[in-house]
DNA sequence: CTGTTAGCGCGTTCAC
DNA sequence: GTGAACGCGCTAACAG
């Protein structure tokens, strides 16, 4: 007869609810009820059961509970990488809200690879996560759309939820929750800020055609230029990925290329801004005295370098994703939330007339 | 009769192995065997089953599989916060290795709170994670030791593994795996580097009595001073937490306090170094021309500010933790691995004689 | 208030 | 090769 702590083959085995029941001299069902706490019970029985639980250091088997009861208590988040601050902050929001709701957090990373993403979503499906939250920037084409629609339908059919975080919606026929933030408005706002400070030649760092996030930010940039009736010079838009090295590279290359033909820089995100800033400083250019600089994201490090930037509610994004997913009245519905962004003015932008004065 | 996709109460329900069996006209056992792939089977049957799987978009229920079969395929990691770079990099290593081994990753955050840590470990125990990896800096006292020993024994009794990452071992009687890195040697190395460059008044930023990580680094710092027969001035050790704001605060306060009585700074980590650097530059002090600066961690951002620092193999730490936990011959054994650290020389330290010249 | 019974979805014996 | 039967640990009916 295997005892708690040892199975037939000698391998350690955790105590089960039956061990608790035996020790307390009650039935398994009673233990289950007392532990779930939703049923009335005699104080005596209750005490005996709780004591047995403590003595055996019993914890319920989540897998068995999930099988027997309803849904599992877990939320899945899928990101490119854990070490990118943008993702990390969203993930933190997901963690927070999941914990608040008593949910566990499953994390998967894709490295930006579509195959790994697919595999990860399948894995989360096997785990029966209540929701699968996909976060981040991505190329949107037909293949992507089809793939996401597939995820959404498969998850919905399994009573789960696909949540797209910081990605555009898929359409009315696809059951997914979308939690976005307003990239275009944010980019419009900073660009206007630069324009109203008298800057007309604004370098945009980090364009990347086909990727939703840079695309939307470029759009906001261009719209602001148009609103101010400032001619749009495509030569001021520099292609590059959204990390710090790229920011340095793009700025450095631009400075090496020839005479400086801009007075301000709008970096597609704070990482690029940080890299660009380093390149500028290395050339003896001061910010904001010689060059104005703005970013996007408002990561904590932005405050450290006094960067004027657009605040993205990263953690709120994660929290909202979880909240909507868990409290969705009718699972499998399409919902769309657009969170606001706002400009945070620090000290990296100067009026142009002050400069020329 | 509920079909796949719809249960009795109308709620969506994923396809089960039985649905696949029915559609393929075979028994559930056959489906199970074919999918596990370890059994011989008639090509015809095999084809029919695989087709049914595809048509139904079937994925096995991980919970049921875990219940029936052996272990679950998951590894748990518990950190203070996901947004701290140090933790994030270790987490990335855990993710990588877990994915390589076909394991899923459960993540819990504690915010540095012991109660939340306890709750999180219990949760991971319920999930039957193959290993629970606790990472990071912590106060080590008797209460801590007792708590960890409790975790270790409970996990071992359940056939799981406690892994301590970047924390000291608990003793020979406690079944835990410890994956450390050499804080003291690293601190000794940078301090020696500063000393051999002629610096004798080296400010240590980020002491925090009782916390293992700063304690070990202070120890290395002092040992190097002793080795160079440089008198140890406790007044050069400044207390503070390990983040950027603190680094700024400590440096700023020190500079405001009175005349500068040091020529070099050893920051307890790169975050502190970054903050201190900002404070120094604001006072017009150049690095390394006026002040030499060294850090600890070698985060990617250290390269951006040309910081001489100690390389910590963060991701290797995470990978090793997972590897040891999964391939431990005898679960519940005590193992101890100490990973090396090495100094990375960049451009934040200058010879003192050059300065005076 | 509590015990008994019947599954949850799957792997794994046994038989055929 | 394949099918029927049992059990993993637990919750949810249905009695009493």
CA B12 to chain centre: 39
Is B192 part of a structural domain of the chain?
Answer: yes
Size of interface A-B (CB pairs under 8 A): 146
The pLDDT value given to residue A288: 95
Separation between Cα atoms, residue B155 and residue B33, nearest integer Å? 31
Distance in angstroms (rounded) separating the CA atoms of residues A124 and B256: 54
> Of all protein residues, which has its CA closest to the C1' atom of C1?
A41
The answer to whether A45 CB sits below 7 Å from nucleic acid chain D is: no
Q: Are B238 and B250 in contact (CB under 8 A)?
A: yes
User: What digits encode the pLDDT tens for the residues A42-90?
Assistant: 889 999 999 999 999 999 999 999 999 777 789 999 999 999 999 999 9
| Separation CA B260–CA A124 (nearest Å) | 57
pLDDT of A221-250, one tens digit each?
999 999 999 999 999 999 999 999 999 999
Residue A306 and residue A328 share a domain:
no
Residue that is written with structure tokens 């605060």 in the block:
B249
Per-residue flag: A238 CB under 7 A of strand D: no
Across the interface, do A158 and B11 touch by the CB < 8 Å criterion? no
DSSP track, A141-161:
SHHHHHHHHHHHHHHHHTT--
Are B59 and B161 in a shared domain?
no
Tokens representing A317?
A: 């994004």
Whether A283 is in a domain gets the answer yes
CA count, 13 A, side-chain hemisphere, B303 = 7
If asked whether residues A55 and A81 sit together in one domain, one would say no
Nearest residue to B132 via CA among B113, B100, B157: B157
Question: Can you tell me the mean pLDDT for B328-342?
Answer: 85
Based on the domain organization, do B162 and B301 belong to the same domain?
Answer: no
Q: How far apart are CA A16 and CA A12, in angstroms?
A: 12
Give the domain range for residue A117: 74-181+314-340
pLDDT, residue B334, reads: 80
Q: Cα B35–B40–B44 angle (5° rounding)?
A: 75
- For residues B195 and B277, state if they share a domain: yes
Q: Give the residue ranges with Cβ < 7 A from strand C.
A: A 25-30, 33-34, 39-42, 44-46, 64, 67-68; B 13, 16-18, 28-29, 32-33, 35-36, 58, 60-61, 64-65, 67-70
Inter-helix orientation angle A244-257/A270-282, to 10°: 40
- Average pLDDT on B332-349 reads 92
Are both B86 and B177 inside the same structural domain? yes
* CATH classification of the domain holding B24: 1.10.260.40
| Max CA pair span of chain A | 91
**Residue A331 pLDDT class (50, 70, 90 cuts):** low
Q: Are residues B272 and B244 in contact, defined by beta-carbon separation less than 8 angstroms?
A: yes
What span, in angstroms and rounded, lies between the C-alpha atoms of B121 and B228? 45
Pairing of strands A335-339, A176-181: parallel
Contact of B264 with B154, CB cutoff 8 Å: no
pLDDT at A11: 63
- Number of residues written out for chain A: 357
Question: Which of A84, A75, A144 shows the shortest CA–CA distance to A113?
Answer: A144
With 0-12 CB in 10 A as exposed, 13-18 as middle and 19+ as buried, what is B203? buried
A67–B72 CB contact, under 8 Å: no
pLDDT digits (tens, 9 = 90+) for A190-224: 999 999 999 999 999 999 999 999 999 999 999 99
Any chain B CB within 8 A of the CB of A328? Answer: no
In angstroms, the CA of A22 and the C1' of D2 are apart by 40
Same-domain status, A255 and A334: no
Q: Which residue has its C-alpha nearest to nucleotide D13's C1'? A: A29
pLDDT digits (tens, 9 = 90+) for A288-312: 999 999 999 999 888 878 999 999 9
Confidence at residue B58, expressed as pLDDT on a 0 to 100 scale: 95
Q: What pLDDT is attached to residue B7?
A: 46
Residue A2 in any domain: the answer is: no
Q: Which two tokens stand for residue B41?
A: 């089977």
A170 shares its domain with A210: no
- B1 located within any domain: no
Same domain, B105 and B246: no
Which nucleotide has the least CA–C1' distance to B27? D3
State the pLDDT at residue A333: 75
Evaluate whether A146 touches A118 at the Cβ level (below 8 Å).
no
3-state secondary structure (DSSP) of residue B267: strand
Both tokens of residue A67?
Answer: 């099988």
Ranges assigned E (strand) in B182-257? 202-207, 237-239
> What is residue A306's three-state secondary structure?
coil
pLDDT in tens, B263-312: 999 999 999 999 999 999 989 999 999 999 999 999 988 887 899 999 99
SS3 B266: strand
| A25 and A91 together in one domain | no
Give the mean pLDDT of B74-95. Answer: 95
Q: How many CB atoms lie within 10 A of CB B122?
A: 15
Which is more confident, B10 or A225?
A225
Using the structure block, give the residue that is written with the tokens 């002040």.
Answer: B291
Give me chain A's average pLDDT, please.
91
Of all residues in chain B, what percent carry a pLDDT higher than 70? 94
Which residues are CB-neighbours of B67 under 8 A, at least 6 positions away? A61, A63, A64, A67
Instruction: Measure the CA–CA gap between A347 and A339, rounded to whole angstroms.
Output: 25
A204/A43 Cα distance (integer angstroms)? 69
Domain boundary among B32, B51, B67: B67
Cβ atoms within 10 Å of B349's Cβ, excluding its own = 24
- Report how far residue B196's alpha carbon sits from residue B131's, in angstroms, rounded to the nearest whole number: 44
**Would you state the torsion angle of the CA atoms of residues A160, A166, A170, A172, taken in this order, to the nearest 10 degrees?**
80
| A191 and A174 within one domain | no
Query: What integer is the mean pLDDT of B238-244?
Result: 95
Residue A47, φ and ψ in degrees, nearest 5: -60, -45
Whole-angstrom distance, CA of residue B175 vs CA of residue B233: 40
Least confident segment among A66-70, A94-98, B314-318: A66-70
Nearest to B305 by CA among B284, B322, B286: B286
- Per the rule left: phi > 0, alpha: psi between -120 and 50, beta: everything else, B284 is left
Please check whether residue B6 lies inside any domain of the structure. no
Mean pLDDT over A150-179 rounds to: 93
Per-residue pLDDT band at B331 (split at 50, 70, 90): low
CB atoms within 10 A of CB B232: 12
Q: How confident is the model at residue A328 (pLDDT cuts 50, 70, 90)?
A: confident
Asked whether residue A354 carries a pLDDT value surpassing 90, the answer given is no
Is B142 within the bounds of a domain? yes
Return the pLDDT at B183: 97
Nucleotide in closest CA–C1' contact with A65: D10
Q: Rounded to a whole number, what is the distance in Å from the CA of B233 to chain A's nearest CA? A: 30
Q: Residue B59 and residue A125: Cβ atoms within 8 Å?
A: yes
If DSSP codes are grouped into helix, strand and coil, which group holds residue A215? helix
What's the domain count of chain A?
3
How many Å from the CA of B18 to C1' of D8? 18
Statement to judge: residues B165 and B257 lie in one domain: no
* Closest CA–CA distance from residue B225 to any residue of chain A (Å): 32
Residues B102 and A142: their CA atoms lie apart, in Å, by 30
Q: Cβ of residue B44 near strand D, that is under 7 Å?
A: yes
Task: Give dist(CA B224, CA B84) in Å, integer.
Answer: 29
Cis peptide before B329 (omega within 30 of 0): no
Taking residue A214's Cβ as centre, other Cβ atoms within 10 Å add up to: 27
Q: What is each CA distance from A12 to B132, B133, B149, B170, in whole angstroms?
A: 16, 19, 17, 21
Residue A3 scores a pLDDT above 70: no
A9: in domain: no
pLDDT, greater one: B38 or B100: B100
What's the burial of B219, exposed, middle or buried (CB within 10 Å: 0-12/13-18/19+)? middle
Whether A346 contacts chain B with CB within 8 A: no
Reply yes or no on whether the pLDDT at A4 is more than 50.
no
pLDDT band with cut points at 50, 70 and 90 for residue A136 = confident
Task: Give CA separation, B295 vs A268, B214, B298, B299, B351, in Å.
Answer: 29, 12, 8, 10, 17
Residue A11 maps to a domain? no
The pTM for the full model equals 0.92
Give the A window 204-263 contacts with B, CB below 8 Å: 244, 248
Tokens of B348: 């934040």
Q: Which residue has the higher pLDDT, B352 or A92?
A: A92
Of B221, B225, B311, the C-alpha closest to B266 is: B221
| pLDDT exceeds 50 at position B173 | yes
What is the predicted pLDDT for the residue at B4? 44
Report whether pLDDT(A6) > 60. Answer: no
Number of helices and strands in chain B (H, E): 14, 12
**CB contact at 8 A, A168 and A178:** yes
**B263 vs B215: CA distance, rounded Å:** 23
* Alpha-helical runs (H) found in B37-133: 43-56, 62-68, 85-100, 114-126
Mean pLDDT estimate for chain B: 91
The arrangement of strands across the sheet holding A237-239 comes to A237-239, A202-207, A264-267, A292-294
The CATH number of the domain holding residue B265 is 3.40.50.2300
Residue-wise pLDDT for B105-157, tens only, equals 999 999 988 999 999 999 999 999 999 999 987 888 899 999 999 999 999 98
Q: How confident is the model at residue B355 (pLDDT cuts 50, 70, 90)?
A: low
Q: Which residue has the tokens 């909240």?
A: A323
């Amino acid at each position: 007869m295997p005892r708690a702590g040892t199975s037939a083959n000698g391998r350690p085995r955790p105590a089960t609810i039956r061990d608790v029941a035996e020790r307390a001299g009650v039935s398994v069902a009673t233990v289950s009820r007392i532990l779930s706490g939703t049923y009335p019970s005699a104080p005596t029985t209750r005490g005996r059961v709780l004591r047995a639980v403590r003595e055996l250091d019993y914890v319920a088997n989540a897998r068995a509970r999930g099988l027997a009861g309803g849904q599992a208590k877990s939320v899945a988040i899928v990101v490119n990488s854990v070490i990118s601050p943008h993702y990390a902050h969203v993930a933190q929001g997901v963690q927070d809200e999941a914990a608040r709701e008593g949910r566990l957090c499953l994390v998967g990373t894709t490295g930006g690879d579509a195959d790994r993403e697919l595999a990860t979503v399948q894995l989360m499906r096997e785990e029966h996560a209540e929701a699968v939250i996909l976060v981040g920037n991505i190329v949107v084409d037909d293949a992507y759309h089809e793939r996401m629609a597939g995820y959404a339908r498969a998850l919905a059919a399994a009573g789960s939820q696909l949540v797209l975080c910081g990605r555009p919606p898929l359409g009315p026929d696809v059951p997914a929750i979308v939690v976005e933030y307003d990239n275009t408005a944010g980019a419009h706002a900073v660009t206007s800020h630069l324009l109203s400070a008298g800057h007309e030649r604004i370098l945009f760092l980090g364009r990347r055609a086909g990727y939703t996030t840079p695309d939307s930010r470029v759009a906001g940039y261009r719209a602001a230029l148009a609103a101010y009736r400032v001619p749009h010079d495509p030569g001021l838009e520099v292609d590059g990925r959204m990390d710090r090295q790229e920011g340095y590279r793009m700025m450095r290359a631009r400075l090496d290329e020839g005479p400086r033909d801009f007075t301000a820089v709008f970096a597609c995100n704070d990482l690029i801004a940080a890299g660009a800033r380093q390149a500028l400083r290395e050339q003896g250019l001061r910010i904001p005295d010689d060059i104005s600089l703005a970013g996007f994201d408002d990561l904590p490090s932005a405050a450290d370098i006094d960067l004027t930037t657009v605040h993205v509610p990263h953690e709120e994004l994660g929290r909202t994703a979880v909240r909507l997913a868990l409290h969705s009245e009718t699972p499998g519905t399409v919902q769309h939330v657009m969170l606001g962004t706002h400009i945070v003015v620090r000290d990296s932008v100067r009026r142009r007339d002050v400069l020329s004065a």
